Amino acid sequence: MAEPLIEARDLRLALPDLNARPLFGAAPRVEILKGLSFDVARGRVLGIVGESGSGKSTLGRCLVRLLEPTGGTLRFDGDDITHADTRALKRHRRDLQMIFQDPMSSLNPRHSVLRLVEAPMRLYGVANAEDRAREVLERVQLGGAFARRYPHQLSGGQRQRVGIARALALSPRFILADEIVSGLDVSTQAQIIRLLERLVDEMDLTLAFISHDLSVIRRLCHEVIVLRAGEIVEAGPTAEVFAAPKHPYTAELKAAIPLPDPDAGWLSQP
């Protein structure tokens, strides 16, 4: 079996707890990720699910090394990048891309769509950046006149497509998508999910998809890890985890999702 693209072993992150900082001296450390071990296989989509405060976004930031783990090891493509410094990370940076939750705050309002998508390529001196940008925009169904528009002229779904195009522009080997459909209307959300499903198929992407929405995770992800309070309570192939959750917390999360069927009993179930 092929070696996984990302390998996390006993991954830990502790940060100073600024709320508990004494007047003098160092703040006590609070452990946010408590020894997580999992793989992201090549060409697969890993779902990371959990409630607020579970550490899912923090974990995501460690995976693309925006945060440095304080314990354990993180390997990308066989390389130990746990404590790699800026210079050592440089050759991996373009391979680790991110799509953000709120495109309005991650896109420069003064740049056109074309310029936004070109930007990462210009940074890395990619030849024919403009042609390549148009091609990527075409892929996310924002061809033609969209290139000249500005973020405020786009709908929420279109902005999110720009965010996706930007992440795809450098043909990265790994993409982290952090709650990228949660702010969208249901119809727009369905469009973005379908787009992602297609891109994953066509481009053989390796993706970590962070979401609090189990229904979205079930659709999009091959494997899933369920986080609670910085620990993995359950992991496995998505279909299996959903068919028979082993951990009561997973079952509880699943039972809490209101499916669109009228059912007065749902509220009173334990």
Partner 1 sequence: MSALLRIEGLNVSVGRGGPRLLRDVSLSVAAGETHGLVGESGAGKSMIGKAIAGVLPRGIAVRSGRILFDGQDLTALPRRARRRLVGERIAIIPQDPLTALNPCRRIGGQITDRLVHILGWDAGRARARAAELLDEVAIREPGRVMQAYPHEVSGGMRQRVLIAAAFAAEPALIIADEPTTALDVTVQRQVLRLIGELQARHGTALLFVTHDMGVVAKLCRSLSVLYAGKVVDQGPAARIFGPDPHPYARALIAATPRYDRPEESLMPVPEAVIAALDAEVAAADRDWTDG
Q: Among residues 78 and 265, whose Cβ is nearest to partner 1?
A: 265
User: Using the rule CB under 8 A, is 253 a contact of partner 1?
Assistant: yes
Q: Among residues 21 and 122, whose Cβ is nearest to partner 1?
A: 21
**How far from 123 is each of 51, 56, 87, 135, 241, CA to CA, in Å?**
36, 29, 16, 18, 41
The site that binds partner 1 (CB under 8 A) totals a number of residues, namely: 36
As a whole number of angstroms, the distance between CA 65 and CA 28 comes to 23
Sheet holding 207-211, edge to edge: 96-99, 174-178, 207-211, 45-49, 223-228, 231-237
Tell which positions 62-121 bind partner 1, by CB under 8 A: none
Q: Are 166 and 98 in contact (CB under 8 A)?
A: no
- What's CA 167's distance to the chain center, in Å? 11
- For partner 1, the binding residue among 111, 141, 242, 247 (CB under 8 A) is 242
Q: Among residues 56 and 166, whose Cβ is nearest to partner 1?
A: 56
User: Using the rule CB under 8 A, is 201 a contact of partner 1?
Assistant: no
As a whole number of angstroms, the distance between CA 36 and CA 11 comes to 5
Q: Among residues 12 and 218, whose Cβ is nearest to partner 1?
A: 218
Least separation in angstroms between residue 38's CB and partner 1 is 21
As a whole number of angstroms, the distance between CA 32 and CA 142 comes to 39
- For partner 1, the binding residue among 110, 152, 186, 202 (CB under 8 A) is 186
Q: Are 205 and 239 in contact (CB under 8 A)?
A: no
Tell which positions 41-70 bind partner 1, by CB under 8 A: 51-52
Residue numbers at the binding site for partner 1 (CB under 8 A): 51-52, 185-191, 193-194, 212-219, 239, 242, 252-254, 256-264, 266-268
